């Protein structure tokens, strides 16, 4: 991400919330630790960093200790006890540094976790703008997908050139050539999959038919299409990468389902869940094993399937997500887009 000031420049300002008299030595040691941690490519670790930053429990002890020990190793004066608030702020700052890394699938995944988790605004705002940095990642179209198309394309060109030379010299295909051939097939598959995805989405919009409800969008109606649109678009998005046009596509579907009128009416997640059938809810919850605070709408939906009484499941949700109000009203497209993002986040795991 391109900001007016880099996270490195803003670190002293952010850190003053826990140490008003921070000096250059401390700043240097903390940034050195952060730079080392940024090399870590383990999603579970980074998801725990988000949990620490937002105050979500539980956090794996091993990941908490690894974060804590990383700062201790660079600074012998780092507090050994009662350092939870320091690590919370450092985790928020660490995420800002992470979100400055461009075109990285792990970064997108962790930014999605932050973006999803704060949907109900149940977490207090921080002076460290890691929410804002996470959101900025989704402003510009992502260049990242499951496969590096550009790298594969270059590998294919080099492989073809190399194989042509070897064929002229009548040399048998070696291991390098076999790898190149596999990359060639993968590249062609990726290209075909991309075209197939685009075609499927266009036919979905053109046909205006909801496979989830076995009826046309306009027959299903706005309220039921909120969940259906999220499910169906996630199924059509065969890549795990962020689909830049997702919100616009969902908006178009809801516009059609609302008799070609702007879908500006306010709806709550609770009302969407209560009007959905068990079959459709179960379809949305196909990756339910990973549902957590990073997927608050799906968490609410999952809990609702366990109790017939609405008041019971809503109270159960409050114990899981203190401060989250399931009755808060949003625009229909905001709820559908949130549920879509939660489903895609689970798919990325």
For 46-61, what is the mean pLDDT?
Answer: 95
Q: How far is CA 255 from CA 171, 262, 266, 338, in A?
A: 61, 6, 14, 17
pLDDT at 150: 52
- Residue 314, pLDDT > 50, answer yes
Angle of helix 332-348 relative to helix 105-117, nearest 10 degrees? 140
Q: What secondary structure does DSSP assign to 2-19, as a single string?
A: --SS-HHHHHHHHHTTT-
Greater pLDDT, 254 or 162: 254
Min mean pLDDT across 59-63, 142-146, 229-233 is at 142-146
pLDDT at 20: 86
Average pLDDT of the chain, as a whole number: 86
Instruction: Summarize pLDDT for 321-348 with one digit per residue, the tens.
Output: 988 899 999 999 999 999 999 999 998 8
pLDDT at 88: 95
Render the burial of 229-249: b for 16+ CB within 10 Å, e for the rest.
bbbbbbbbbebbbbbeebbeb
For 17-46, what is the mean pLDDT?
Answer: 92
Render the burial of 273-310: b for 16+ CB within 10 Å, e for the rest.
beebeeebbebbbebeeebbbbbbbbbbbbbbeeeeee
pLDDT at 192: 64
pLDDT at 187: 65
CA 197 to chain CA mean position, Å:
20
pLDDT at 146: 43
pLDDT at 3: 54
Instruction: Summarize pLDDT for 144-155 with one digit per residue, the tens.
Output: 544 445 555 555
Question: Encoding tokens for residue 147?
Answer: 């496969």
For 267-275, what is the mean pLDDT?
Answer: 95
pLDDT at 155: 54
- Residue 274, pLDDT > 90, answer yes
pLDDT at 286: 87
- Residue 18, pLDDT > 70, answer yes
Whole-number Å distance between alpha carbons of 137 and 132? 9
Instruction: Summarize pLDDT for 75-107 with one digit per residue, the tens.
Output: 888 888 888 999 999 999 999 999 999 888 899
Greater pLDDT, 337 or 179: 337
pLDDT at 19: 85
Greater pLDDT, 164 or 276: 276
Greater pLDDT, 315 or 151: 315
Whole-number Å distance between alpha carbons of 139 and 313? 35
Residue pair 242/108 in contact (Cβ under 8 Å)? The answer is yes
Greater pLDDT, 1 or 74: 74
For 15-36, what is the mean pLDDT?
Answer: 90
Nearest Cα residue to 15 out of 26, 5, 6: 26
Reported confidence tier of residue 220, pLDDT bands at 50, 70, 90: very high
Nearest Cα residue to 130 out of 150, 107, 111, 143: 111
């Amino acid at each position: 991400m391109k900001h007016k000031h880099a996270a490195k420049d803003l670190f002293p300002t952010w850190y003053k919330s826990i140490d008003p008299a921070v000096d250059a030595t401390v700043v240097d040691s903390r940034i050195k630790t952060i730079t080392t941690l940024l090399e870590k490519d383990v999603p579970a670790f980074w998801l725990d960093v988000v949990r620490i930053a937002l105050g979500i429990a539980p956090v794996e002890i091993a990941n908490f200790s690894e974060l804590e020990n990383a700062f201790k190793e660079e600074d012998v004066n780092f507090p050994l006890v009662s350092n939870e608030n320091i690590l919370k702020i450092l985790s928020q700052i660490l995420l800002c540094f992470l979100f400055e890394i461009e075109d990285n699938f792990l970064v997108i995944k962790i930014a999605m976790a932050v973006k999803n988790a704060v949907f109900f605004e149940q977490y207090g705002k921080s002076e460290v703008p890691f929410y804002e940095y996470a959101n900025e990642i989704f402003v510009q179209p992502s260049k990242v997908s499951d496969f590096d198309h550009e790298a594969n394309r270059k590998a294919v060109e080099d492989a073809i050139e190399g194989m042509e030379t070897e064929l002229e010299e009548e040399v048998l295909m070696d291991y390098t050539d076999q790898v190149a051939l596999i990359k060639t097939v993968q590249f062609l598959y990726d290209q075909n999959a991309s075209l197939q995805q685009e075609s499927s989405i266009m036919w979905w919009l053109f046909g205006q038919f909801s496979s989830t409800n076995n009826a046309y969008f306009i027959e299903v109606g706005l309220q039921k299409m909120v969940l259906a649109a999220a499910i169906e678009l996630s199924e059509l998005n065969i890549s795990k990468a962020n689909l830049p046009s997702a919100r616009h596509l969902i908006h178009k579907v809801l516009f059609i389902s609302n008799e070609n009128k702007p879908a500006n009416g306010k709806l709550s997640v609770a009302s969407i869940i209560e009007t959905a059938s068990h079959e459709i809810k179960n379809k949305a919850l196909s990756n339910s094993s990973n549902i957590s605070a990073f997927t608050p709408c799906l968490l609410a939906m999952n809990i609702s399937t366990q109790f017939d009484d609405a008041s019971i499941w809503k109270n159960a949700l409050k114990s899981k997500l203190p401060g989250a109000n399931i009755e808060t009203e949003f625009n229909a497209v905001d709820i559908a887009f949130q549920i879509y993002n939660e489903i895609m986040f689970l798919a990325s795991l």
